[in-house]
């Protein structure tokens, strides 16, 4: 009689929705969070490890001979040493195309809030400016419509296209930027520098890697139109945060809406969190975190594990 697989979820509290049971007999162990120093002990004898953000490095993987599958409870897998996993015959799978509605809606929310100056006017009401106004309304920070504005997308995957569909419904003109530094421009794309110069809104939807790290720095921010709004619901490292703060403070940018920072959580502080700017909105990496979107993720996570255990691995990274 085969021994039921041991499945260990290292950071269960990062997925605060119900997760259905794996379909085959198994042993399930979950921890709210796991420190890197505890990974090997907690995964001892486990065939399946589930991690959202807990790293599995080469030393950990080498110390876990029973491990056969790392099921990442997210799309990003930069916390996994893929070379080590491949070397030791460990399959890594991830979650794909699950946040199509959630991330796109969050990006549009940030665009609308910044272009229509929601924080500034909310603050005006809270400060009593409307109550003291001589007329029926309060004129303050200049508002702009999304209709007729140009949305430039850096990235062209599922989330970028979902964002483009919503933006199109608002009457925006959609432009896909070619990759930074490339000399050839694909059909349907605009050269990187040329695209940035057209943007009324620049929205980032690409993975973080060595080619995209700091893709938007001081030079790129200077290419944008004065008043352009920058949206980042992808990864914090795509943007040079120090350069972004300077651009906001000197009025170069119309605003920035960020759902991600370079360090998460920002326990060591972040200059962007130390300023009080009405045209800077920061949310705590929650674009994916609607109940509906997290439920889709939870279902796909178990589907990935079920598929592997029946010998039909899916969403395989390595």
Positions annotated as catalytic residues are 235, 264, 285
Sign for the CA dihedral angle at 242, 248, 249, 250 comes to: positive
Give the H/E segment covering residue 290.
Answer: none
Q: What is the DSSP letter of 17?
A: S
Helix, strand or coil for residue 277?
A: coil
With beta carbons less than 8 A apart as the criterion, state whether 93 and 74 touch: no
* CA 317/CA 297 separation, integer angstroms: 17
Q: Exposed, middle or buried: residue 73 (CB in 10 Å: 0-12, 13-18, 19+)?
A: buried
Helix, strand or coil for residue 235?
A: coil
CA distances from residue 268 to 29, 232, 261, 262, 264 in whole angstroms, order as listed: 31, 21, 12, 11, 9
| Pure H helices in 170-240 | 192-198, 218-223
The verdict on whether omega for the bond into residue 93 sits within 30 degrees of 0, i.e. cis, is no
Sorted by sequence, the CB contacts under 8 Å of residue 220 that are 6+ apart come out as 180, 196
* CA 50/CA 69 separation, integer angstroms: 8
* CA 210/CA 314 separation, integer angstroms: 26
Report the chain's terminal Cα–Cα distance, integer Å: 30
With beta carbons less than 8 A apart as the criterion, state whether 318 and 94 touch: no
């Amino acid at each position: 009689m085969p021994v039921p697989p041991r499945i260990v979820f290292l950071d269960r509290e990062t997925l605060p929705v119900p997760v259905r049971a794996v379909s085959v007999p198994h042993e399930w162990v979950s921890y709210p969070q796991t420190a890197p120093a505890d990974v090997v002990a907690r995964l001892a004898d486990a065939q399946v490890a589930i991690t959202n953000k807990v790293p599995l490095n080469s030393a950990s993987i080498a110390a876990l001979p029973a491990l056969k599958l790392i099921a990442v409870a997210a799309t990003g897998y930069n916390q996994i040493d893929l070379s080590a996993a491949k070397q030791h015959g460990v399959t890594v799978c991830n979650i794909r195309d699950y946040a199509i509605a959630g991330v796109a809606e969050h990006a549009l929310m940030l665009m609308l809030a910044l272009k229509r100056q929601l924080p500034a006017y909310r603050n005006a009401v809270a400060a009593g400016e409307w109550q003291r106004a001589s007329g029926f309304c309060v004129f303050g920070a200049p508002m702009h419509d999304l209709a007729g504005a140009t949305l430039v997308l850096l990235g062209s995957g599922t989330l970028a296209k979902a964002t483009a569909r919503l933006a199109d419904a608002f009457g925006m003109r959609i432009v896909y930027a070619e990759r930074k530094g490339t000399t050839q421009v694909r059909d349907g794309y605009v050269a990187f520098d040329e695209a940035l110069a057209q943007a009324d809104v620049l929205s980032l939807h690409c993975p973080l890697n060595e080619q995209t790290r700091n893709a938007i720095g001081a030079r790129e921010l200077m290419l944008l139109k004065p008043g352009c709004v920058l949206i980042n619901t992808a990864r914090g490292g795509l943007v040079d945060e120090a350069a972004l703060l300077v651009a906001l403070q000197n009025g170069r940018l119309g605003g920035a809406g960020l759902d991600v920072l370079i360090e998460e959580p920002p326990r060591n502080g972040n200059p962007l969190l130390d300023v009080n700017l009405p045209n800077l909105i920061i949310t705590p990496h929650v674009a994916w975190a609607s109940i509906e979107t997290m439920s889709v993720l939870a279902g796909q996570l178990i589907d990935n594990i079920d598929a592997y255990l029946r010998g039909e691995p899916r969403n395989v990274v390595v």
